[in-house]
Amino acid sequence: MIRILLITAIMILPVHAYAASQSMPLKSVLIDLNNKSSLQRGAQIYVNNCLGCHTLKYQRYVKFVDHLQLPAETIENNLIFTTNKDGEATKIGSLILNSVNPDHATEAFGVMPPDLTLIARSRGADWLYTFLTSFYKDETRPLGVNNSLYSNVGMPHVLVWMEGLKKQSSETGGYEYINKGTMTSAEYDNAMTDLVNFLVYVAEPAQLDRYRIGFWVILFLGVFSFIAFLLKSEYWKDVK
Ligand code: HEC
């Protein structure tokens, strides 16, 4: 018994240690991979605003047909904007890449924007959501913005047109908006939920299959337990 408790404690420990090492409390985001329209909106925000710098090099566009329930034409017309070296439109079976030149990117931002296919696994959904909602104006930084979660981040606030620009308020310790974007703050939070939902899906598309298969497995176990119970009652009824 003590051994089982010890093993459980060891399994839980690293999660807590990781959570404690955060510089600020993370906001929590509700992930719902069954919400296809949320995943579709997230994909749209991603290709329009993030793909220019961050690839998803372990994912192919064609996977969106099944996983996001998007018709192939919709993907070709609305999500694929890149071309190959000969100028032909990228094929739907291709990996999700961009044409960033690493030397130029490093010169511009100090670092190469990382691939984000697995970012939701390494950082976690809440971290991503907090990161995307924590950009604020900071004149001392080269790009004019900073991030409360990721200090001195090398990434510009690319969604400033959606969110608007906020500054840290010295009185309340929170933020106050100095420029409006195209969205209200609640709409922006919803858009970031969609974007993080999409990144969680991309990091492990097999989750969708697991949910589906899991449902049948649990159902089978339920039905099987019932049959096993009937069988047991049948076997033991004369023994008593
Ligand atoms: C103009 C280029 C550019 C665009 C567009 C861009 N980013 Fe970034 N991003 C960067 C750079 C550069 C870094 C590295 C920053 C650093 O390490 O200081 C970065 C870092 C990140 C990180 C942190 C990675 C880590 O764990 O270190 C995340 C998450 C991220 N970006 C998400 C996004 C999302 C989501 C979008 C779209 C809304 C986006 N980025 C659009 C340039 C960009």
Domains of the chain, residue spans: 2-204, 205-240
Model pLDDT, residue 195:
98
Contact 201, 121 (CB under 8 A): no
Encoding tokens for residue 183? 């969205």
| Per-residue model confidence as pLDDT tens digits over 173-193 | 789 999 999 999 999 999 999
Cα 98 to Cα 55, 56, 59, 88, 229: the distances in Å are: 6, 9, 13, 14, 58
Model pLDDT, residue 172:
81
Ligand 1, atom 42: closest residue by C-alpha = 155
pLDDT confidence bin for 9, thresholds 50/70/90: low
Q: Report percent pLDDT > 90 for the chain.
A: 82
As a whole number of angstroms, the longest Cα–Cα distance in the chain is: 85
- Burial readout 12-43 (b: 16 or more C-beta within 10 A, e: otherwise): eeeeeeeeeeeeeebbebebebeeeebbbbbb
Ligand 1, atom 35: closest residue by C-alpha = 50
Enter the pTM of the model: 0.86
For the CA atoms of 226, 232, 235, 240, what is the dihedral angle to 10 degrees?
A: -130
**Nearest-angstrom CA–CA distance, 25 and 4:** 31
Nearest C-alpha neighbor of 83 from the set 74, 73, 94? 94
Encoding tokens for residue 156? 């510009």
pLDDT confidence bin for 194, thresholds 50/70/90: very high
**Nearest-angstrom CA–CA distance, 69 and 198:** 13
**Nearest-angstrom CA–CA distance, 134 and 166:** 9
Q: Which residue has the tokens 């907090």?
A: 130
Which range among 39-48, 172-181, 220-229 shows the weakest confidence by mean pLDDT? 172-181
**Nearest-angstrom CA–CA distance, 45 and 13:** 36
Nearest C-alpha neighbor of 197 from the set 16, 21, 31? 31
Decide: residue 177, CB within 10 A, 0-12 exposed, 13-18 middle, 19+ buried: middle
| Per-residue model confidence as pLDDT tens digits over 13-40 | 555 444 444 568 999 999 999 999 999 9
33 close to ligand 1 (CB < 6 Angstrom): no
C-beta neighbour count of 148 within 10 angstroms: 17
52 close to ligand 1 (CB < 6 Angstrom): yes
Contact 167, 141 (CB under 8 A): no
Cα 186 to Cα 30, 100, 174, 183: the distances in Å are: 14, 32, 16, 8
| Per-residue model confidence as pLDDT tens digits over 102-159 | 999 999 999 999 999 999 999 999 999 999 999 999 999 999 999 999 999 999 999 9
202 close to ligand 1 (CB < 6 Angstrom): no
The number of the ligand 1 atom at minimal distance from the alpha carbon of 109 is 12
Question: What's the average model confidence in pLDDT over 192-202?
Answer: 98
* Signed CA dihedral, 198, 202, 204, 208: sign only: positive
2-204: in CATH 1.10.760.10: yes
Residue 98 CA, ligand 1 centroid: distance in Å: 14
111 close to ligand 1 (CB < 6 Angstrom): yes
**Nearest-angstrom CA–CA distance, 45 and 22:** 27
39 close to ligand 1 (CB < 6 Angstrom): no
Q: Report percent pLDDT > 70 for the chain.
A: 90
